[in-house]
Structure 1
Amino acid sequence: MKSICVYCGSSSGASEVYASGARDLARIFVTHQISLVYGGGSIGLMGVLADEVLRLGGRVTGVIPQALMDKELGHTQLSALHIVKNMHERKALMSELSDGFIALPGGIGTLEELFEMFTWLQLGIHNKPLGLLNINGFYDQLLQFLGHIVKAKFLASEQLNLLITQTDPELLLQSLRTFRAPHVNQYLTPEDS
């Protein structure tokens, strides 16, 4: 595992604990010589994460749409910065450049990216590990709702288990490294499980 894509907020959130968690993940990446791939922003948790990886001597690749670059939201001090036409190209290139995915706290954009990769993994479109770093219980209610979706039989429990969740970044990385994608039947329904 040489590079991991991290999805996270363009805001730092209401508590310093989220930025602290992003810096902890950055240290783990640099310690294990993992390159960061992310959305290329200079603000919020995105900026905190990228800045810390760079400060510690790690490699950071950003992928940002031209429209966001035009708003001066792009990080200009990265190891590599790809400027693409739109969000679809951004997500596709980030996926292509990465050996796995992690979501930190974030907003709708972070959730959209997380769930797209989750859907693709469930359908067997990719077989890369997908993790959720649940800093300070940020994702507790989302995980409860996903459990509700399983109980309501709109998602098989085996499919939910594809999403690796940890509160500790080191343990999350270990879990991502040992992940083996099952042979997922894209037509498996919760009633079949």
Structure 2
Amino acid sequence: MDKTKILLADDDPIIRMDIREMLEERGYRVAGAARNGEEAVELAARLKPDLVLLDVKMPRMSGLKAARLIRRIYDPAIVLVTAYSERDTVREAGEADVSAYLVKPVSELNLFPAIEIALSQQSRIDGLKKALASLERSAEERRTVEKAKGLLMQAHALNEEEAYRFMRGASMDSRLSLGKFAEAVLQEREERMPDKAGNG
């Protein structure tokens, strides 16, 4: 099984080293380590880690701003690390769509639960997105089938059931899904329309 890829970002080299050691001892793969928010965004875009661990206060770009920019590129789990449990920071972390929030000092006791929560939450979000995309594809396919069925009813004086039976049989004969066959019917209709207009 592939190891979970993690990108960590902290301006303190000792903290970066300590966190890297903790992660690698637990079996995670540290794909990269950034010294500031800008580097974190660049590395996240290039390496596409499963989880990004961001210190809030970093030079050049804060962890909060980096989190927002990373979210525009793709959707990893994001854990924010801060020395302060301030209400404003917690609120901003929520607005930045952060998966989990961790208060320093970072130790195995608080690091790994935060990572597991973040990965689990991201997995659920990814699952919901896939389910939604699948529903949207199904709805689009149904609309395409209905359009094609309507064309066949009109062109061949068929009732709805006859048109559907014809489409199902033709899709099986051509080894196409019903949706793909419906697309072919509509495409053929579009290709014929200019000819009819020109001949009319």
The TM-score bracket by the shorter chain reads 0.3 to 0.5
Q: Which protein, 1 or 2, shows the higher relative CO under an 8 Å CA cutoff with sep ≥ 6?
A: 1
Output the TM-score relative to the length of structure 1: 0.42
Higher helix share: 2
